[in-house]
Structure 1
Amino acid sequence: MKTLSKVITLSAILLALPVLADSNTDALQQAADHHVRSEQNKNRDQYRNPVQTLAFFEVTPKSTVVEISPGGGWYTEILAPLLAAHGKYYAAHFPADSSSDYYKRNLAAFKEKLAANPIYSRVELTAFAPGNSSDIAPAGSADVVLTFRNLHNWYGQGGDEGMVAIFKDFYKALKPGGVLGVVEHRLPAEKANGEWTRSGYFPQQLTITLAEQAGFVLEDSSEINANPKDNADHPKGVWTLPPVMRLGEEDKAKYQAIGESDRMTLKFRKPVAQ
């Protein structure tokens, strides 16, 4: 019976996968168009540009990918179908043994999401939190480690030293030559000497400096996720903008016209020579 169950599950996964793509861009687009994705999440593609972003970070259907802090699974809905047949997807979510109610609620919701569709049956759940010693993936196994809009949260918990330790965890998980892809709300350089730590934005140069201290080399940057309408100067920080809209109806049209935040998109490389 167990063998039959595995066959049925595998068949369900294969039927849910995109058809064979002619190129990596096609494969990424098919994953982004996958029926498992909610329309609400698809509507945010105009700001998050997942196909272009994943292509820039060299993600392919055969990649071993670790996503750090996947939250509610926005990128999970793309990465799981993309990697189901030939790749590997580690979702490094909150630790199961955490005493934080917030961590517990979010992890439970993510597990419920994974259980709801067979396309997620090959997602491997691992643990990550600042200061947590758990491995996000086997050492030297990952082609790509991805983090989306997390740096500002981590920095508030550990500062420069804590961030370098986090980047070292990513470094450990990657193969030599592997890619660390970082997307984050970008603080304008001229604001970096002010009080920015509670704004939700993060300095691009500080990101580069801390990653380099962990051993990474900045290989490239992209303006895929840039938004020149966003000056990062809002009453409630980045959460003033969509999708959070923390001011509610106050100046709603103004912030909707700006759209989601201006974001840095940085590609780091773990050197081949160790």
Structure 2
Amino acid sequence: MNKTLIASLLVTATSLCSFSSIAALTPFQKDVLKVMKMEHRNAADKERDDNRVPYQALAFFGLEKDMKVIEFAPGNGWYSKILAPLLKDDGELHLAYKKEWLEGMNDTLAIDVMSKAKKLPIELDWNPEARSYKLGTIDFGMADADMMLSIREYHNFNLEDKTKLNKATFDALKPGGTYVIVDHSRRHMMPETDEMRRREDPIDVILEVQAAGFVLEKSSKMFYRPDDELRYEVGRKSVTGNTDRFTLVFKKPK
């Protein structure tokens, strides 16, 4: 690695973590920082880096560069733009999304570092009245995936569809595979309201995922936000970009 690139990575790392922790970064985390500096990520992508700390999050998830990974509902591809280059040489990235919405990612997927990502069309639609997603018959078409990532998407489904999603994920992962859920926190036992529609009670999530056969392996406080009062819709200006989020890592038993 040349000195210019090393200096650039150190500048990036300094903006994302304390100086004392830079020396403790793993080789994997340094690879993530390198991808974060790549030109295919635009200014809007990079503006979210401090809030989402992907070099820290992906390491906690247990991601490795030779894994077969499903990214569920990738949206505009913020995480995809980091995952695809990391998995390009030795792993696989499968983007599980509605066919028409995957087509909207064509320009991004045409970029060289993104070109190995695979489209994985699923039956998924948006219900504007309920303001939630609706799953059809869901089958990810594999049983040997190492990891499923569901990042800020679980809240978009009702209980019936969450149950379908969790079962399909269990079936798609190999024994020992990892199921990661990150979502906006709701206070435990707070009732479902329109204001809370994009928040999840982590206790409910744990119970729902365990019911599908998974075992909770670990959780993280990396996205704890003490000034999020857990009572406002996440789209409100006062909390957008600063929501408290839980991070849960489940394992499919071997």
Deviation at 1:196, TM superposition (A): 5.8
Cα distance in 1 between the residues matched to 2:192 and 2:104 = 37
CA RMSD of aligned residues (A): 2.2
Cα distance in 2 between the residues matched to 1:49 and 1:63 = 20
Work out which structure has the larger RCO, using CA pairs closer than 8 Å and 6 or more positions apart in sequence.
Answer: 1
Q: Contact 1:66 / 1:137 at 8 angstroms: preserved in 2?
A: no
Determine helix, strand or coil for the equivalent of 1:180.
Answer: strand
Aligned to 1:178: 177
Letter in 1 for 2:184: H
Deviation at 1:194, TM superposition (A): 5.2
Q: Contact 2:195 / 2:231 at 8 angstroms: preserved in 1?
A: no
Alignment of 1:102-113 (within 5 A): 104=100, 106-113=101-108
Q: Contact 2:102 / 2:119 at 8 angstroms: preserved in 1?
A: no
Aligned to 1:10: none
Deviation at 1:198, TM superposition (A): 4.9
Counterpart of 2:58 (choices 54, 57, 73) is 54
How much identity, in percent, do the aligned residues show?
Answer: 31
Q: Once the two structures are superposed, what CA deviation does each residue of 1:73-94 show, in whole Å capped at 9, x if it has no partner?
A: 0001100110111110001111
**TM-score of the superposed pair, with normalisation by structure 2:** 0.80
Aligned to 1:270: 252
Alignment of 1:15-164 (within 5 A): 23-94=27-98, 96=99, 104=100, 106-115=101-110, 117-128=111-122, 129=124, 130-139=134-143, 141-155=144-158, 159=159, 161-164=160-163
Deviation at 1:22, TM superposition (A): 7.2
Which consecutive unaligned segments of at least 5 residues does structure 1 have?
1-17, 97-103, 242-254
Q: Contact 2:68 / 2:91 at 8 angstroms: preserved in 1?
A: yes
Cα distance in 2 between the residues matched to 1:86 and 1:215 = 29
Determine helix, strand or coil for the equivalent of 1:66.
Answer: strand
Q: Once the two structures are superposed, what CA deviation does each residue of 1:199-245 show, in whole Å capped at 9, x if it has no partner?
A: 311110010000001010011000112211111222xx11114xxxx
Cα distance in 1 between the residues matched to 2:50 and 2:107 = 27
Aligned to 1:240: 236
Letter in 1 for 2:226: P
Which consecutive unaligned segments of at least 5 residues does structure 2 have?
1-8, 10-24, 125-133
Q: Contact 1:49 / 1:225 at 8 angstroms: preserved in 2?
A: no
